[in-house]
A and B are shown apart, each in its own frame.
Chain A
Amino acid sequence: MARWLVYLLFGLGYAMLALGWALVLIWPFSLGLLCLAGLGLFAVKKKFHQALDLGFALGVMAAATGISLEMPFPYALGAVLSLLAAWDIDHFSRRLTLAASQDDPRAMLGRHLGQLGLVLLVGLAASLIVLEIRFQFNFELAIGLVLLVFASLAALINWLRKTER
């Protein structure tokens, strides 16, 4: 079931991206994204899991670039959420291969999907709220905030990498 969900969400994410790019009338890129989706699905089916990492990263970049070219935001956001979900479920399904029958893998998958749904819902809600509420900062404060975000993000990633070792 998890595999089918991955295919479905990955396909859905790229379909939304292709549709979004088609709406801004850049057809070759739209078709290219569809081809990429097909290639990615084939690679994932052949258990080349790095393809999903790459597909997810390219999808997010394509969504962001599309926004700059007047692509409707809901398509970009939907695509990112869908690709994020596919990326997560693919990882979890691989981890699920460790589960023995007494661990009840189906219940674990159900529980994980619930957690993932909740996190995506929070992300979606936060994104939509931010869409509605826009603060006006002066330039110095904006730069300061951006630097703060960069520093904290870098520290967080660094900590995560150290912890994983």
Chain B
Amino acid sequence: MSRSLLLGLLLIFLLIGGLVTLNAFWLELAIPLAVYLLAGFLLAPEKVALTVERQISPERAIPGEAVTITLRITNEGANLPQVGLRDPLPGFAELVDGSFTRLLSLRHGESLAWQYTLRGKRGYHLFPGLEVSASDPFGMVNLRQVAPTGGQLLVLPNVPRVRRLVIRPRVTRVYAGNIPARQGGAGVEFFGLNEYQPGVPMHAVNWHVSARHQEALFINEYEQERVADVGLILDARQRANHLGNGKSIFEHSVLATASMSDAFLNNGNRVGLLIYGLYINWTNPGYGKRQRENILYALARANTAESQVFSGMYIPRRLFPPKSQIVFISPLMPDDVEPLVALRAHDYPIIVISPNVVRYEASLLPDQAPFRQAARILALERYITIQRLRHAGVQVIDWDVTRPFEQTVESLLSRPPAFIRAIGAGSR
């Protein structure tokens, strides 16, 4: 109930009571209340007309970096005897310095410069406006509005730098890159021999082989190196990422995705990103720095959610070019095996990067026998899931998140997987 209504009702009660009992004291008791109500009424602000400008420095930050918000407020309306200002903070940020609320009086034409500093984790925030509540000193009349201000804050995820990544997709694009294309031509790695064609430079002639064949000259061919299509899939399903006590492993998945996209783009590949959460958020494939920005922007906004449409994992195959490299970043659930194997059956080379959720959660729990036992059972279940994927020809990186991501990935992805080396595909 509003204060003015309560006071009004009490006044009416006293007036009626005085009339009914014919007791003048009731009316005299009402006088202080009436004076208080009238004082509030007389000092009430007429209307609120504030203009607000917002400056955010920097607008794009990295996690933990201090961001200064400056607000310039000008009162273009009547005097405001008491005005409360509140600038709602982004959910992912915390206040470092200053205050995000103010209570002050503003005269007509008066300006105020207000500054505060915050620091945030990964996230994106569009500032909706400044919440203004102007009232008289006694809170009888309270005018509320939201003064529109522009501004957005983007805290990009950390991007650990992975120097070398080796992938062997079966299909590459036409542009030169550093992925062996399984085709002879210009390159550095020996690919095979071919009969001499007019116009080929003489230093390409393999004289040892040509000496053994009188009828023809043979030339060395090298393996072409090209760029490839890479599709990154980030698993943002709530049930896969959320642990007990409000903890989540999702930030590690985001970090891994950012790092992998950066590495692939630095090698000149065409990279697209699919975030699988409440809905399918698709960033169209692209090259270079612009695409890096697009992907980081999408990752900054990524949040976990449960899809209302698909009960399990559904990977829309048409988004990825046939036989292109797929990188799936997920804590992995046992029922993810089937869609991944189905994708593998369509000749997509797949790398699964899986932050080890069992080890991570176990590290957060007390070192007690029941927890150890539960962790062991879950670790076995996870091991079986990973083994099923490996048997289907999926390359799985089981990432212990206590180790730096770049170390883990460089040690496992800096050379072709064992089965590719064994069959010699892609290298020789």
Residues of chain A whose beta carbon lies under 8 Å from any beta carbon of chain B: 53, 56-57, 60-61, 63-64, 67-68, 73, 76-77, 80-81, 84, 88, 91-92, 95-103, 105, 108, 112, 115-116, 119-120, 122-124, 126-127, 130-131, 134, 146, 149-150, 153-154, 156-157, 160-161, 163-164
Q: Which residue of B lies closest to A124 (CB)?
A: B32
Q: What secondary structure prevails in chain A residues at the interface with B?
A: helix
Most buried by A among B24, B27, B31, B144: B31
Nearest CB in chain A: distance from B112 CB, A: 10
Q: What secondary structure prevails in chain B residues at the interface with A?
A: helix
Tell me which residues across on chain B come within 8 A of A150, comparing CB atoms.
12, 15
Q: Does B90 contact A (CB under 8 A)?
A: no
Beta-carbon contact of B29 and A123 below 8 Å: no
Distance between Cα atoms of A105 and B13 in the complex (Å): 36
Q: Does B200 contact A (CB under 8 A)?
A: no
From residue 23 to 72 of chain B, which have CB atoms closer than 8 A to chain A?
A: 23-29, 31-37, 39, 41, 44
Q: Does B243 contact A (CB under 8 A)?
A: no
Q: Does B118 contact A (CB under 8 A)?
A: no
Distance between Cα atoms of A153 and B30 in the complex (Å): 12
Q: Which 7 A-B pairs have the closest CB atoms?
A: A123-B32, A100-B99, A123-B35, A99-B103, A157-B8, A98-B103, A160-B4
Distance between Cα atoms of A83 and B163 in the complex (Å): 72
Nearest CB in chain A: distance from B100 CB, A: 9
Beta-carbon contact of A127 and B15 below 8 Å: no
Distance between Cα atoms of A18 and B36 in the complex (Å): 24
Chain B positions 271 through 283: 1 when the CB is less than 8 Å from some CB of chain A, otherwise 0: 0000000000000
Nearest CB in chain A: distance from B389 CB, A: 53
15 new A-B contacts, CB < 8 A, other than A103-B103, A160-B141, are A60-B29, A64-B13, A67-B29, A80-B29, A95-B135, A99-B101, A99-B104, A100-B98, A100-B103, A146-B15, A146-B19, A157-B8, A160-B140, A163-B143, A164-B144
Distance between Cα atoms of A88 and B32 in the complex (Å): 13
Q: Does B245 contact A (CB under 8 A)?
A: no
Q: Which residue of A lies closest to B144 (CB)?
A: A164
Beta-carbon contact of B139 and A92 below 8 Å: yes
Contact A134-B24, Cβ < 8 Å, known A119-B138, A160-B140: yes
Q: Does B202 contact A (CB under 8 A)?
A: no
Beta-carbon contact of A127 and B141 below 8 Å: no
Beta-carbon contact of A123 and B36 below 8 Å: yes
Distance between Cα atoms of A63 and B198 in the complex (Å): 116
Beta-carbon contact of B103 and A64 below 8 Å: no
Q: Does B413 contact A (CB under 8 A)?
A: no
Tell me which residues across on chain A come within 8 A of B99, comparing CB atoms.
100-102
Distance between Cα atoms of A1 and B208 in the complex (Å): 99
Nearest CB in chain B: distance from A102 CB, A: 8
Q: Does B362 contact A (CB under 8 A)?
A: no
Tell me which residues across on chain B come within 8 A of A63, comparing CB atoms.
29
Q: List 5 A-B contacts (CB under 8 A).
A: A68-B26, A95-B103, A99-B103, A154-B8, A164-B142
Contact A57-B32, Cβ < 8 Å, known A68-B23, A108-B103, A149-B15: no
Beta-carbon contact of B26 and A91 below 8 Å: no
Chain B positions 357 through 399: 1 when the CB is less than 8 Å from some CB of chain A, otherwise 0: 0000000000000000000000000000000000000000000
Beta-carbon contact of A77 and B5 below 8 Å: no
Tell me which residues across on chain A come within 8 A of B14, comparing CB atoms.
60, 64
Beta-carbon contact of A53 and B32 below 8 Å: no
Beta-carbon contact of A73 and B139 below 8 Å: no
Tell me which residues across on chain B come within 8 A of A119, comparing CB atoms.
35-36, 39, 138
Q: Does B161 contact A (CB under 8 A)?
A: no
Contact A68-B21, Cβ < 8 Å, known A53-B6, A160-B141, A161-B4: yes
Distance between Cα atoms of A16 and B405 in the complex (Å): 71
Nearest CB in chain B: distance from A124 CB, A: 6
Most buried by B among A77, A122, A131, A157: A157
B2, B23, B32, B138: the one within 8 Å of A81 (CB): B32
Q: Does B107 contact A (CB under 8 A)?
A: no
Beta-carbon contact of A156 and B41 below 8 Å: yes
Tell me which residues across on chain B come within 8 A of A146, comparing CB atoms.
15, 19
A64, A92, A115, A164: the one within 8 Å of B143 (CB): A164
Distance between Cα atoms of A123 and B11 in the complex (Å): 14
Beta-carbon contact of A163 and B31 below 8 Å: no
Nearest CB in chain B: distance from A153 CB, A: 6
Beta-carbon contact of A98 and B101 below 8 Å: yes
Q: Which residue of B lies closest to A97 (CB)?
A: B101
Distance between Cα atoms of A65 and B3 in the complex (Å): 22
Q: Does B428 contact A (CB under 8 A)?
A: no
Q: Which residue of A lies closest to B19 (CB)?
A: A146
Nearest CB in chain B: distance from A16 CB, A: 13
From residue 78 to 132 of chain B, which have CB atoms closer than 8 A to chain A?
A: 82, 84-86, 98-99, 101-104
Beta-carbon contact of B31 and A123 below 8 Å: yes
Tell me which residues across on chain B come within 8 A of A98, comparing CB atoms.
84-86, 101-103
Tell me which residues across on chain B come within 8 A of A130, comparing CB atoms.
27-28, 31
Nearest CB in chain B: distance from A70 CB, A: 10
A84, A115, A163: the one within 8 Å of B141 (CB): A163
